[in-house]
């Protein structure tokens, strides 16, 4: 794998659910921040034990969703394309992410189309290209602009279910051939397109999807997951992967799990064409 060994995480110092911008969030359900902190630390340790390096972006007061670093932008080839977050509650997160990237020598490539895009949460590496979600949080025009500005090939996939509002809630690439696919969130017309790209998909059942099994992180041959069924574990092990489960129940109250809490910093892509098929 040409990526998956360097991640950016942000501690849950101010994590909370104070507004509802997806169907998982309910501001009346309390968050246990001490438990969230233990879960976050366990996740960071699990990634490091699997062989990853984790950098930490300091948390900021009044930005309860800033823990979900996947949404801060897309990182590839040492370039950072800052997100244009859809909800105003999260928009102030961007300046902090941009500053961190500048301080850590990433080039900044702004996307200036009017449309929104929610970073790597909606844009995942597949081989040396990207698969991006649109229709929920991200606008297809943003991915067109990103492809035009960077030369990266981006395959846009339309998402239709408000519960599975980012591409990392429908897809988890594992290596150049294998990926976990959670089909419910994908527009019926686009599901064949997605499955055509993935040589060997592990297609989740609705129950497995609701447990966020697609929102996982692969580090070498270890898949760090928020939950795992025996069926999924068996298939992954046939493919040579071992599973580490980290409970992130507090973060699921905000509609995010393992993948959303990380941003890959080491993705390498080809730079050739524009938008993929």
Q: Can you tell me the distance from the alpha carbon of 73 to that of 147, in angstroms, rounded to the nearest whole number?
A: 14
Q: Can you tell me the distance from the alpha carbon of 182 to that of 77, in angstroms, rounded to the nearest whole number?
A: 28
- For residues 61 to 100, the per-residue mask of contacts with ligand ARG, x marking binding by CB under 6 A and - elsewhere, is ----x--x-xx------------------x----------
Q: How far is the CB of 166 from ligand ARG (least distance, A)?
A: 4
How many residues contact ligand ARG, by CB under 6 A? Answer: 16
Beta bridge partners of 244: 224
18-47 residues near ligand ARG, rule: CB under 6 A: 21-22, 25
Q: How far is the CB of 237 from ligand ARG (least distance, A)?
A: 26
Please name the helix (run of DSSP H) or strand (run of DSSP E) that holds residue 249, with its range, or none.
helix 249-252
Q: How far is the CB of 266 from ligand ARG (least distance, A)?
A: 18
- For residues 242 to 261, the per-residue mask of contacts with ligand ARG, x marking binding by CB under 6 A and - elsewhere, is ------------xxx---x-
* Cβ neighbours of residue 188 closer than 8 Å, sequence gap 6 or more: none
Q: How far is the CB of 71 from ligand ARG (least distance, A)?
A: 5
- For residues 140 to 179, the per-residue mask of contacts with ligand ARG, x marking binding by CB under 6 A and - elsewhere, is --------------------------x-xx----------
User: Which one, of 222, 232, 234, lies nearest residue 258 by Cα?
Assistant: 222
* Cβ neighbours of residue 189 closer than 8 Å, sequence gap 6 or more: 158
Nearest CB to ligand ARG, comparing residues 92 and 192: 92
Catalytic status, residue 2: no
Q: Can you tell me the distance from the alpha carbon of 7 to that of 261, in angstroms, rounded to the nearest whole number?
A: 10
Nearest CB to ligand ARG, comparing residues 90 and 158: 90
CA neighbours closer than 13 Å in the CB half-sphere of residue 108: 15
Q: Can you tell me the distance from the alpha carbon of 75 to that of 70, in angstroms, rounded to the nearest whole number?
A: 10
The residue of the chain with the least Cβ separation from ligand ARG equals 121
Q: Can you tell me the distance from the alpha carbon of 129 to that of 50, in angstroms, rounded to the nearest whole number?
A: 25
Which residues are known catalytic residues?
166, 260
Residues that bind ligand ARG (CB under 6 A): 21-22, 25, 65, 68, 70-71, 90, 121, 166, 168-169, 254-256, 260
């Amino acid at each position: 794998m040409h990526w998956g060994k360097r991640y950016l995480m942000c501690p849950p110092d101010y994590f909370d659910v104070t507004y509802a911008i997806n169907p998982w969030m309910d501001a009346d359900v309390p968050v246990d921040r001490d438990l969230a902190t233990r879960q976050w630390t366990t996740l960071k340790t699990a990634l490091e034990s699997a062989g990853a390096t984790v950098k930490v972006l300091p948390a900021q007061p009044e930005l309860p969703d800033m823990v979900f670093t996947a949404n801060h932008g897309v990182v590839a080839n040492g370039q950072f394309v800052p997100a244009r977050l859809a909800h105003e509650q999260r928009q102030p997160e961007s300046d902090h992410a941009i500053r961190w990237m500048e301080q850590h020598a990433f080039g900044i490539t702004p996307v200036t189309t009017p449309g929104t895009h929610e970073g790597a949460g909606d844009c995942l590496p597949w081989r040396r290209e990207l698969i991006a979600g649109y229709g929920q949080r991200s606008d297809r025009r943003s991915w067109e602009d990103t492809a035009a500005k960077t030369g990266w090939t981006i395959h846009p996939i339309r998402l239709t279910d408000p519960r599975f509002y980012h591409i990392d809630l429908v897809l988890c690439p594992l290596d150049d051939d294998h990926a976990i696919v959670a089909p419910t969130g994908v527009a019926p017309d686009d599901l064949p397109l997605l499955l055509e790209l993935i040589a060997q998909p592990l297609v989740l059942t609705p129950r497995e999807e609701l447990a966020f099994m697609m929102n996982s992180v692969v580090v070498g041959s270890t898949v760090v997951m928020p939950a795992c069924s025996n069926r999924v574990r068996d298939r992954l092990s046939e493919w040579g992967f071992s599973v580490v489960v980290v409970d992130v129940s507090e973060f699921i109250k905000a509609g995010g799990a393992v993948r959303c809490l990380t941003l890959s910093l080491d993705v390498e892509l080809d730079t050739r064409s524009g938008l993929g098929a």
